Amino acid sequence: MIPLAQALKRRINKKQANITGRPSIRRSFLIFHNGFLLCAGAPLCNIFLLGIILLAGCKSPQELFYRPPGTAVEVYETVSRLHITVYPAAREKSAGAVIFIHGGGWRIGGSDIPLFQDWENELRSRNLRAFSIEHRTAPAARGRDQIEDCIKAVQYIQNNADRFGIPPRRIALVGFSSGGHLAVMTALFLSKNIPRRESAVRSVVSFYAPLDPAAMFTSGDENIHRLLLNYLPDSQIPDDEDESKSREAFLRRALMDISPVDNLHTACPPSLLIHGDSDSLVPAEQSIRFANAAAGRNIRNVTLQIVKGAEHNFNQSRNGWARNEEKRALDFIINNFN
């Protein structure tokens, strides 16, 4: 276990100078996990590499960023030029909206959701219209910056509900890994102090998400430390041994500020937490801790689904059990629209 102060001091000492400007291959931070590139502080060529790695493991050809005919891209935030991908509707009027938030350690940009092809038919059969959103990325955008982007994107979609042919109060969020963290935080903020019948976000689904960052930070995994420290707000505390208590206090506050467990409230929308019990990057304990925190506060609408033998990013699998978990997510969403 690495104390919070020691971990923060390590970051300050290193200064992370290599994340300003264009990083080189040597400076890139890559995690290859179960054949998948989880995070990169790398040039765009590494995003291409992600596609090669992913598609090489597929039993059937899949497009990494699949856009069916009729897909559109719109700007929802003009200052940073952030986009949403608007996937085509099955009918003129949809039963509801599903907004996807991609993963990538808070560092991968773009508005497309990987492997949308896996979701397309199931969404259409339920008459759900899909969107996916872009947010700013770490290390430039830290802490609540990305959460605020997601909130703006959801509000943009809701404000344009008539044009998109969706009910404005039938919106669900689905996020993967860091995107699952952002989805849950967005749902918590948008539902706070609002009666459920008036909330736009009717449910949220997280796949293998870090939902208790402070607990994960102390796990001792250097990759996790680097991911979180690149995402947390910068500390302005001097690099001085006498300031260790101040550094630790800052880090604790920063972790709590972006922690779904610490921001949980009784108006939390129905939540489905899907996590593999063999996830060695973001342990299933992360979803378990959120579910236990909800139970401890008598919040009864949090459902935990532990998938036996599943690793991180198991949605990439070409096996039927992975598709079944996606169907489970969509059925959960439909049930909570009623």
Rounded Cα gap, residues 266 and 263, in angstroms: 10
pLDDT value for 27: 28
The pLDDT of 61-87, averaged and rounded, is 93
Complete domains list, the chain, with CATH: 4-337 (3.40.50.1820)
Record the tokens describing residue 315, joined without a space: 């949605």
Record the tokens describing residue 133, joined without a space: 């959103």
pLDDT value for 25: 25
Tell me the per-residue pLDDT of 200-232, one tens digit each, with 9 for 90 and over: 999 999 999 999 999 999 876 788 888 999 999
Given a cut of 70, whether residue 42 has pLDDT beyond it is no
Q: Spell out the residues 6+ positions from residue 117 whose beta carbon is closer than 8 angstroms to its own.
A: 62, 63, 66
DSSP string, 107-136: ----SPPTTTHHHHHHHHHTTEEEEEE---
Task: For helices 144-159 and 178-191, give the axis angle rounded to 10 degrees.
Answer: 60
Q: Which helix (H) or strand (E) holds 14?
A: helix 4-14
pLDDT value for 251: 87
Rounded Cα gap, residues 309 and 290, in angstroms: 21
Record the tokens describing residue 237, joined without a space: 């505390």
pLDDT value for 246: 77
Tell me the per-residue pLDDT of 310-330, one tens digit each, with 9 for 90 and over: 999 999 999 999 999 999 999
The pLDDT of 113-139, averaged and rounded, is 97
Tell me the per-residue pLDDT of 131-185, one tens digit each, with 9 for 90 and over: 999 999 999 999 999 999 999 999 999 999 999 999 999 999 999 999 999 999 9
Rounded Cα gap, residues 320 and 65, in angstroms: 21
Annotate 43-82 with b (16+ C-beta within 10 A) or e (fewer): eeebbeebeeebeeeeeeebebbbeeeeeeeeebbeebeb
pLDDT value for 139: 95
